[in-house]
């Protein structure tokens, strides 16, 4: 049982990585002048949508958690709506955190919100796919020794790694503020 779970988990992560790689190359066939550096907001949206779609499909196919006892349509719709509300709440929460940590409030609001969406995609979507909108299960997973399966352990590791990665990626940004490529060139021409 554990070997099959490990294989399913490996295939799930490999397909998510593959979807990120595809989100780099596929848009260039459909969009003119597509470049990750020049059209970064477009790429972030495409990457977020592709990772979300792959996560949803994989978790529906693999079904690592036990299915709910309730299977009525109204229960599924309310659960889906709760998941959407959790996702949007996490996007706004991360956006507020980024602004509190120094991101521009108005000038680069779209870029900051896109970063919040991509972080929510890598942290909240897997939690919602695996645990659903069950806040007690989320607390159990992210508290000490609350992991009961390999899927939950993977969820905990990828979520914490996403937070650490985004912090490490943003940490060196202030180190280049005095460089000509970061500051308006009119300052250096005086």
- Residue whose structure tokens are 């500051």: 183
The pLDDT tens digits along the chain (190 residues) read 577 878 887 888 888 888 888 888 888 788 787 777 677 777 788 888 888 888 888 777 776 665 556 677 888 888 889 989 999 999 999 999 988 888 888 888 888 898 899 999 989 998 888 888 888 888 888 887 778 888 888 888 888 899 999 888 877 766 655 556 555 544 444 4
In a domain? residue 154: yes
The pLDDT of residue 47: 81
Which residues have a Cβ under 8 Å from the Cβ of 144 and sit 6 or more positions away?
Answer: none
pTM of the entire predicted model: 0.77
Instruction: Give a three-class secondary structure readout of 132-158.
Output: CCCHHHHHHHHCCCCCCCHHHHHHHHH
The pLDDT of residue 183: 54
The pLDDT of residue 85: 94
The pLDDT of residue 27: 81
In a domain? residue 182: no
How far CA 45 is from CA of 114, 121, 122, in Å, comes to 7, 10, 13
- Measured CA to CA, the distance from residue 106 to residue 25 in angstroms comes to 31
- Say how many domains are in the chain: 1
In a domain? residue 107: yes
In a domain? residue 181: no
The pLDDT of residue 181: 56
- Measured CA to CA, the distance from residue 187 to residue 190 in angstroms comes to 6
Range of the domain at 123: 9-63+77-171
Question: In angstroms, how far is CA 157 from the centroid of its own chain?
Answer: 13
8 A C-beta contact, residue 123 and residue 116: no
Angle subtended by helix axes 109-131 and 73-100, to nearest 10: 140
8 A C-beta contact, residue 16 and residue 54: yes
- Measured CA to CA, the distance from residue 12 to residue 136 in angstroms comes to 25
The pLDDT of residue 69: 62
69 three-state secondary structure: coil
- Measured CA to CA, the distance from residue 129 to residue 13 in angstroms comes to 14
In a domain? residue 3: no
Per-residue model confidence as pLDDT tens digits over 63-99: 666 555 667 788 888 888 998 999 999 999 999 998 8
The pLDDT of residue 117: 92
8 A C-beta contact, residue 111 and residue 44: no
In a domain? residue 95: yes
């Amino acid at each position: 049982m554990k070997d099959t779970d490990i294989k399913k988990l490996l295939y799930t992560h490999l397909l998510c990585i593959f979807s990120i790689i595809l989100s780099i190359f596929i848009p260039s066939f459909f969009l003119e002048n597509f470049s990750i550096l020049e059209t970064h907001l477009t790429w972030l949206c495409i990457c977020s949508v592709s990772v979300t779609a792959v996560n949803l499909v994989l978790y529906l196919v693999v079904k690592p958690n036990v299915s709910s006892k309730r299977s009525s349509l109204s229960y599924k719709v309310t659960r889906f709506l709760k998941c959407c509300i959790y996702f949007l709440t996490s996007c706004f929460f991360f956006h507020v955190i980024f602004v509190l940590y120094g991101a521009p409030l108005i000038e680069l609001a779209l870029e900051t919100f896109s970063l919040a969406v991509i972080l929510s995609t890598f942290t909240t979507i897997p939690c919602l796919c695996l645990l659903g909108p069950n806040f007690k299960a989320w607390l159990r997973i992210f508290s000490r020794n609350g992991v009961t399966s390999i899927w939950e352990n993977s969820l905990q590791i990828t979520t914490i790694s996403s937070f650490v990665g985004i912090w490490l990626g943003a940490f060196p940004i202030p180190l280049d503020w005095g460089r000509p490529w970061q500051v308006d060139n009119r300052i250096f021409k005086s």
